[in-house]
Amino acid sequence: MVKGRKVDNVAYERLVNLGRETLQEINSDTSPSFYAPVRSRSNVSFSEDTGTLVLGDKKEKRTFVHVSQAKKFMQTIAIAAKLKKFLEEGLHTSIRGLFYQLKFSLGEDLDEELFSEQSESNPLIEDLEASLDLKREDFNLSTDRKGVVAGNMIIKDRFGGEENTIDASKQGRSGWMIPSDVDNDMEFVDVNADYVLVVEKDALWQRLNEDKFWKKNNCILITPKGQASRGTRRLIRKLADMKLPVYVFTDCDAWGWYIYWAIKTGSMNLAYLTKHLATPEARFIGVTMSDINEYDFLNKLTIKAKDVDIKRAEEMKSYPWISRHKEWVEELDIVLKTKKKLEQDAL
């Protein structure tokens, strides 16, 4: 194997350490193993301290000399080795690209494939993220991107060894497309705003961008275009770290509220990453069901809730970190009773 260039970052260090420990265990005749936090729902809870979903202490030992674990262990090490190579080469791929690159890595002569489906490799990537306490983006894995931003914000993007300065106040009708990774080889050199406004829908974003809302109100205007991507959540987290208040404005329906909650407390599937992705400081703004009950002109703007809204409302009521907020339970109950919704486009 050709040795790549040494990379000076935490992700690289942790991968090298994982390899080193594995080697030491082999050399000392121990079955190599590592611990990965359990990511199933039974190990997810709400933390009062952080105000986010977090993983509990349950860990699983993954060991090589074990009938049911040997293959998984080998697969995980193969992924870790590949990620190390990506960092050395300074190249990125998606988790699907990684799957294809490793699928046949056992060589042409073997009938066996390392992975037959992507559903085998994806959870092992999550194991590595969770056990090394980093995001896949830090290992040069790109994720689906969605979401746009405009505002007084200057970013230096040193992607692929070339530096570009992006001024998010000069992107016209388009805005700056929020990338998959807003951390590595990227610097927020100047953010000049009083707060962050996140609006659920792109149509509203376009409307507010046209009104130069972000300029007149000195804010950073973001739309996740529905459920927020990892990159968008991470950007919101970073802006909150810069002490900007974050307001999330969604449709008045359970679907929209869930978008708010996922930004605020993180989502169940990504509970192992809330430290990087969740923004517990985020506050909700928008019309509520109680407003609709109170003001007839709002009631007139409602339309019938969709089945997904009803289902989402039921789910949300079952989440303890939501159901302990009396005012949110009331809102969800009104959704379930009236089966109405009010979209932000109506306002």
Given candidates 3, 5, 6, 173, which one binds its own copies under the rule CB under 8 A? 173
Rounded Cα distance, 257 and 330, in Å: 13
Residue 153: CB minimum distance to its own copies, A: 13
Cβ burial 27-36 (10 Å sphere, 16+ → b, else e): eeeeebbbeb
Given candidates 20, 41, 61, 96, which one binds its own copies under the rule CB under 8 A? 96
Identity of the residue, 275 or 300, whose beta carbon is nearer to its own copies in the bound complex: 300
Q: What is the DSSP string of 147-167?
A: -EEESSEEEEE-GGG--EEEE
- Using left for φ > 0, alpha for ψ between -120 and 50, and beta otherwise, residue 175 falls in left
Given candidates 31, 63, 69, 94, which one binds its own copies under the rule CB under 8 A? 94
Task: Return the residues of window 39-58 that contact its own copies according to CB under 8 A.
Answer: none
Cβ burial 318-338 (10 Å sphere, 16+ → b, else e): ebebbeeeeebeebbebbeee
Contact 22, 32 (CB under 8 A): yes
Identity of the residue, 32 or 175, whose beta carbon is nearer to its own copies in the bound complex: 175
91 lines the binding site for its own copies (CB under 8 A): yes
CA angle 150, 347, 202 (to 5 degrees): 35
H or E element: which one contains 101? helix 95-103
Q: Is-catalytic flag, 100?
A: yes
Identity of the residue, 38 or 154, whose beta carbon is nearer to its own copies in the bound complex: 154
String marking each residue 193-212 x if it binds its own copies according to CB under 8 A: ---------xx--xx--xxx
Catalytic residue among 12, 35, 100, 319: 100
Stretch that binds its own copies, among 39-47, 79-87, 120-128, 167-175 (CB under 8 A): 167-175
Rounded Cα distance, 38 and 33, in Å: 15
Rounded Cα distance, 90 and 68, in Å: 35
Size of the site for its own copies (CB under 8 A): 46
Report, as residue numbers or ranges, the catalytic residues.
Answer: 100
Binding positions for its own copies, rule: CB under 8 A = 91-94, 96-97, 100, 103-104, 117, 142, 144-145, 148, 157, 159-160, 162, 164, 166, 170-181, 186, 202-203, 206-207, 210-212, 300-301, 303, 343, 345-346
